[in-house]
Structure 1
Amino acid sequence: MITFVERKTSCIIGWCLTQERDESTLQALLDKSPQAVWYYSDLFVTYKSLIYTPGTHTPMPDKSETFRVEGVNAELRHYLKRLVRKTRCFSKCIQALRRTVKLFVFAWNRRQLYRQQYPDYPAYLIQIVYP
């Protein structure tokens, strides 16, 4: 699973289910995601060959600028046990996994925007899905 996360709101602005992080898959996801001024990534070699228009890409050797996306990926693995490991919880139907991730991304983004608008009120994920 590949995710693009906006740092200000922690919203997932692009995601893709794939087995390999190859250049064509990453470029397609980058092209259909909203454009940014700054792009940060880890030192994975394929990120260097992508075309970032109009933004600037900075590969980071540490987690100083990628902590937000790493946190969202941890939340994905926490809430969706299908993404943890390929044993009993692993989804064998890719369409079911896509639908599950799509629902999670919808609820996650609503929750993040709610937290931005109302910072003093608790925003539990279940309250965003079932108001």
Structure 2
Amino acid sequence: MAACWLTVSLIGEDTVGAKGDSLSKTATAEETQAPEPFETDGTITLTDVGADLEDGEPCSGTGGYSDIDFGTQVNVTDAAGTLVATSSLGLGEKTEAGCTFSFTVAEITPGSKFYTVEVSHRGGLTQTEEELRAGALEFTLGD
């Protein structure tokens, strides 16, 4: 009977392993909680587009840049090349620099050594997680 009581009283408490290590039956909430996804933002500017427009007017990619427009996909991949988040470009706006599109990518899976952000098929910008969390990424296409 005493052995039964001892077994029941140990359930849910720390137990001692063979080498005297303390083993916990329950992990704390902090240990079991996965890291929270994060977001980043940035812009892509087409320097050769919008010369005939006034600043602030809507614009879009033309000619060789026709793939850069409202809704163009933005992909984020991790160090293994796995797609971890996607988004799309906002409306283009004529700026002093050209035609600028902004984007925000949310729900990026944390924990990779680096990430690559790619707009359309234009090649990626590689960043550490810390850099990506800081946001304000800037892509430029054109001369």
**TM bucket, shorter chain:** under 0.3
Q: Which has the higher contact order (CA 8 A, sep 6+)?
A: 2
TM-score by length of 2: 0.22
Q: Which has the larger radius of gyration?
A: 2
TM-score by length of 1: 0.23
Q: Kindly indicate which of the two structures has a greater share of residues assigned to helix.
A: 1
Q: Kindly indicate which of the two structures has a greater share of residues assigned to strand.
A: 2
